């Protein structure tokens, strides 16, 4: 029992989470360990070596079925029998790392050029000038409150002063009621008397 470890001790020595170790056991990547009478898992040094190999294989980008086959071969035969396969995976992973490093270097160079361009444009722009060439404060949308105030000032300065479309009280009375006879000029009164006399004559002629 002195050479066995609990699952917590294995997790600390391999860098694998406890949940991952349990998953590898349920997936058949590692054999089920022995247990204490209380049900605690006990791992041997061989289990520890197996888990370390699994972790390294996963870092190389191997899929779980490939990891399982590699671990089975590694612990069922001599190291030289699976060394070639492991070296092949190492070479592929190294090539992939070199490719990603080159891509990141290109991205860093592009970001450096972009930063230099932005700083140059910022330094060359006059104070208060935006990057689109317009002054700060130009091109703003008119305020609805400003338009309302302008209409109010226009009404106040128009003849009559009050609300637009309404005249004085006399104008409204003239539109609603016809003028009385007393308001007619003298020429209008004479024309009215002649029209009344003509109607009387027509009536008298019909009665004869």
Residue 114 is predicted with a pLDDT of: 94
34-48, 109-123, 172-186, 190-204: the lowest-pLDDT one: 172-186
How would you class 25 by CB atoms within 10 Å of its CB: exposed for 0-12, middle for 13-18, buried for 19 or more?
A: middle
pLDDT digits (tens, 9 = 90+) for 47-103: 999 999 899 888 888 888 888 888 888 777 666 666 777 788 778 888 888 998 999
Q: Within 10 Å of residue 11's Cβ, how many Cβ atoms?
A: 18
Average pLDDT over the chain reads 75
Q: Taking residues 99-109, what's their average pLDDT?
A: 93
pLDDT band at residue 174 using 50, 70 and 90 as cut-offs: very low
Residue 76 is predicted with a pLDDT of: 74
């Amino acid at each position: 029992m002195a050479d066995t470890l609990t699952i917590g001790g294995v997790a600390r020595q391999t860098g694998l989470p406890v949940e991952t170790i349990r998953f590898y056991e349920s997936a058949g990547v590692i054999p089920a360990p022995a247990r204490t009478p209380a049900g605690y898992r006990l791992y041997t040094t061989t289990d520890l070596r197996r888990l370390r190999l699994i972790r390294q294989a996963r870092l190389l980008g191997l899929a779980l079925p490939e990891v399982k086959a590699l671990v089975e071969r590694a612990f069922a035969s001599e190291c030289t029998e699976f060394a070639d396969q492991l070296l092949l995976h190492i070479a592929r992973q190294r090539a992939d790392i070199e490719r990603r490093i080159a891509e990141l270097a290109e991205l860093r160079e592009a970001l450096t050029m972009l930063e230099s361009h932005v700083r140059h444009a910022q330094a060359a722009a006059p104070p208060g000038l935006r990057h689109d060439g317009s002054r700060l404060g130009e091109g703003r949308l008119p305020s609805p409150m400003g338009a309302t105030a302008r209409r109010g000032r226009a009404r106040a300065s128009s003849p009559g002063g009050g609300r637009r479309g309404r005249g004085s009280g006399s104008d409204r009375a003239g539109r609603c009621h016809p003028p009385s006879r007393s308001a007619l000029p003298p020429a209008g009164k004479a024309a009215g008397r002649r029209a009344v006399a003509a109607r009387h004559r027509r009536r008298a002629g019909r009665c004869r």
